[in-house]
Amino acid sequence: MTGEAMRLGTDGGARIDLRVVDYQYPEIAGDGTGKDWDANWLVVAGDAVADDGRGWSFHDPCLTTWDARDLGDWLRGVADGSVAPAPLDGGGAGRLLSFTEPNLAFSFADRADDAVVIRVYLSLESGPPWPTEGDFLLVTTQVTHLALSIKKWDRMLAAHPDR
């Protein structure tokens, strides 16, 4: 992947790099309210690597500007401890961060010392090219690295504001 990317996970383990490429329809200026759906779809590129070392890439308009901002806010909550870990069985309403398109979703699995463990669910165009059933990447990120990744995400979003 070229350009700055937000990384969740570490080299040698499961990880995902996400990058906002552009608006899906860069030629649409928006309606001036910041609520024009067509004007606010973002193309996201991702490079994912599973625990077993198999990797894949995707390039898809799978987040709106609002979804992308929600992801940054959620990650900040994970980093600062205001988002509580969610059990794998899905207990706890609202614990899965999902978006308009179902390609990406996230849940907070655990915190240990200065690291967080996040489940990254990838499906449809963003999923791996091999068959899976409800699999997710379990990525571990140091809180200090997560803070740097959030700053990168924020810079990408600043270049792609609501239109």
Q: Which domains does the chain have, with CATH numbers?
A: 6-158 (2.30.31)
User: Which residue from 133, 116, 140 is spatially nearest to 16, judged by alpha carbons?
Assistant: 140
Give, for all 163 residues of the chain, the pLDDT tens digit. Answer: 557 899 999 988 999 999 999 999 999 998 888 889 999 999 999 999 999 999 999 999 999 999 999 999 999 999 999 999 988 765 554 589 999 999 999 999 999 889 999 999 999 999 999 887 667 899 999 999 999 999 999 999 999 999 9
User: Which residue from 114, 157, 146, 132 is spatially nearest to 50, judged by alpha carbons?
Assistant: 132
pTM to 2 decimals?
A: 0.92
Q: Listing from the earlier edge strand, what are the strands of the sheet with 15-23?
A: 6-9, 15-23, 41-49, 55-64
CA–CA distances in Å: residue 110 to residues 84, 140, 143: 8, 9, 12
